[in-house]
Chain A
Amino acid sequence: MSMHSTQTTVDPGEIAKFEAMAAEWWDPNGKFKPLHMLNPCRLDYITQQIAAEFGRDLKAPQPFAGLRLLDIGCGGGLLCEPMARLGATVVGADAAERNIPVARLHAEQSGLEIDYRHTTAEAMAADGEQFDVVLNMEVVEHVADPLAYLTACRELLKPGGLMVCSTLNRNPKSYMMAIIGAEHVMRWLPKGTHDWSKFITPDELFALITEAGLKPVDRKGFKFNPVLWTWSISDRDLSVNYVTASVKPR
């Protein structure tokens, strides 16, 4: 599948960095170990928000059947596969071309049907595609124009649709944790994965989401416990990683 010629907000330097890492996606002890560790926590938040918004029972089999879901920046499919298992019809989009065959191969191995596409949010919005749920996880801090990007996300939602968006806060602690801690000390992520100046505070993100025409309804922190090496959802601590839920007005 070829890139659309529509103008895009993706920064080419950012894509190149992730392409180099694509093959590593599904190794739980590889370069994406921190993402694999964070994933249960992200999935808990996403599944709870979708269940609440669309009145689904998570204890029932295939609770997300009938919902059309888009994961932007799908990478190797760490979120797409769980969503497909829960019954959603899933489209995974990634601007890094090399991620797509990796994700497709793994979905096939897992016996899951997922529509992976090498495209961008802006291109899909221009094509008029719409979804019940848009997942926008750890992407907004990598785009060149966050407002244009979030506006495309709004266009991709059906009225009453839900966007879940997570990113990194911008303060001295997040600089220490994400840049010094994760990239330099732990070497969890390659140096240069993040550009701290692009990080967004929760208030700034809420303002951008509102300006893009969505209604923010919830925000929580993802908190790392360095003793137990586990992540948990926090009501109060949004100081480093945090996640938001927004709906498109009907």
Chain B
Amino acid sequence: MADVLIVGGGLNGPVLALALARAGLSVTVVDALPLKALRATGFDGRAYALALASQRMLAALDLWDAVSGDAQPINGIRASDGRAGEGPSPFFLAFDAAEIEEGPMGYMLEDRFLRRALLDAMKAEDRISHVAGRTVTAQQIDPQGVTVTLSDGKTLRARLIVGADGRRSGTAERAGITRTGWGYGQTALVAAIDHALPHGGIAHQFFMPPGPLAILPLPGNRSSIVWSESDAQAQAIMALDDAGFLDVLRPRFGSFLGEISLAGQRFTYPLNLTLANSFVAERLALVGDAAHGVHPIAGQGLNLGLRDVGALAECLVEAARRGEDIASPLVLARYQQWRRFDTATLAVATDAFNRLFSNDNPLLRLGRDLGMAAVGAVPGLRRRFIREAAGLTGDVPRLLQGQPL
């Protein structure tokens, strides 16, 4: 019987598996995708904005060296209010890495590099068993553990089951955990863009009435964009060919990086907020989007997930070292207490932020421009914003402080 069975081989699942295995626990990871798909090396356009705390966590798990050469440091963030075709408003909010002593504010990392590093590390770890290309069809809880049935009919046993299977988590659903949430009527268009001029490691966020456009620097003269539009508009844009897509993007993107072209596939993600009404159940815990799918506006989805992973790993490893049953209700309650408040706060804040900025009301526009100017003018407030975005505030799990468990 494994100590922990993790459902979901995305990013949070493997990172949790590694954190637990390195601390001596045995782990099984069940991954719906077959290994061949996981090992695909081409660039598909997906990339992550890793907050500084998340980067420290990867370093503490000896994963950072394998990806650091492919990561782009974020040296600054520029946020501005604008309308398509009008350029940014005069009120700019600029954050620079030089204002916090920790170095870059974060890193951009392509999905393919992070995925490869996680697969290699899991393969090299004796305590991890990686079951790829199969899904979970049933889970049964008993006083000693959990029995999981896979799509090929095989069964697996573990003391604890962890759902890292995304915002439509089957693990949560099978346990009867309900969800609260709502859609925004918005869809995010995600793509990688080649551009003529260097970005200097600066990330940009333009707040425009239909939704924000984020331009995030990748290595070389490339950037990743997260572009939010109303559902209907996004559908219409996605239906265009690449040239048509770029024609709509250009006036929003602006000319500050020179001529632009597509550097990979285009993806769409409907924007919604979904919060599991409990992060734990009997012998079960949820992490990442399975616990809380937040609006990706602040780029905090993966970072929030890694905070769950760090907190859960710390709770479980501490419990194991003092001889507690790692799946006892008391141990799981500690994890839930640690993460739920943090998550609810961020979900509400991100939601309010988006509602404020996705609006063309002139009074609101003036108000938020003045607000941005005010935040920008007060050094203490600026530092706080930067440290918050870098994931350096709150009750930070040890792994995210760069410390081993």
- Identity of the chain B residue whose Cβ is nearest the Cβ of A79 in the assembled complex: B323
B contact residues around A84 at 8 Å (CB): 323
Task: Tell which of A58, A83, A111 touches B144, judged by Cβ atoms closer than 8 Å.
Answer: A111
Q: Does A81 contact B (CB under 8 A)?
A: yes
CA distance A111 to B159 in the complex (A): 12
**A44–B322 touching, CB < 8 Å:** yes
**A109–B143 touching, CB < 8 Å:** yes
**A85–B323 touching, CB < 8 Å:** yes
**A47–B325 touching, CB < 8 Å:** no
Q: Does B360 contact A (CB under 8 A)?
A: no
**A82–B324 touching, CB < 8 Å:** yes
Q: Does A192 contact B (CB under 8 A)?
A: no
B180 to chain A, nearest CB (A): 24
Q: Does A110 contact B (CB under 8 A)?
A: yes
B contact residues around A82 at 8 Å (CB): 322-324
**B323–A59 touching, CB < 8 Å:** no
Which B273-331 residues have a C-beta within 8 angstroms of A?
A: 318-319, 321-325, 328-330
A contact residues around B23 at 8 Å (CB): 59
Q: Does B24 contact A (CB under 8 A)?
A: yes
**A81–B325 touching, CB < 8 Å:** yes
Total inter-chain residue pairs, C-beta < 8 Å: 43
Given contacts A28-B329, A36-B330, A59-B24, contact A81 B323 (CB under 8 A): yes
**B323–A43 touching, CB < 8 Å:** yes
Interface size on B, residues (CB 8 A): 15
Q: Does A61 contact B (CB under 8 A)?
A: yes
A221 to chain B, nearest CB (A): 18
Given contacts A28-B329, A28-B330, A36-B330, contact A58 B321 (CB under 8 A): yes
CA distance A250 to B326 in the complex (A): 37
Task: Tell which of A47, A61, A110 touches B24, judged by Cβ atoms closer than 8 Å.
Answer: A61
B277 to chain A, nearest CB (A): 19
A contact residues around B318 at 8 Å (CB): 40
Q: Does A86 contact B (CB under 8 A)?
A: yes
B contact residues around A59 at 8 Å (CB): 23-24, 321
Which B328-373 residues have a C-beta within 8 angstroms of A?
A: 328-330, 333
Interface centre among B143, B322, B325, B333 (most CB of A within 10 A): B322
B-contact bits for A91-126, CB 8 A (1 contact / 0 none): 000000000000000000111000000000000000
- Identity of the chain B residue whose Cβ is nearest the Cβ of A82 in the assembled complex: B323
Given contacts A59-B23, A59-B24, A61-B24, contact A110 B325 (CB under 8 A): yes
CA distance A58 to B321 in the complex (A): 6
**B329–A47 touching, CB < 8 Å:** no
B contact residues around A58 at 8 Å (CB): 321
A contact residues around B324 at 8 Å (CB): 39-40, 43, 82, 85
Some 6 contacts from A to B, beta carbons below 8 A apart, are A28-B330, A40-B324, A40-B330, A43-B323, A59-B23, A110-B143
Among all A-B residue pairs, the 8 with the closest Cβ atoms: A82-B323, A43-B322, A85-B323, A86-B323, A109-B143, A58-B321, A28-B330, A28-B329
Known: A39-B330, A82-B323, A84-B323. 8 other contacts (CB 8 A): A40-B318, A47-B322, A60-B24, A82-B322, A85-B323, A109-B143, A109-B144, A111-B144
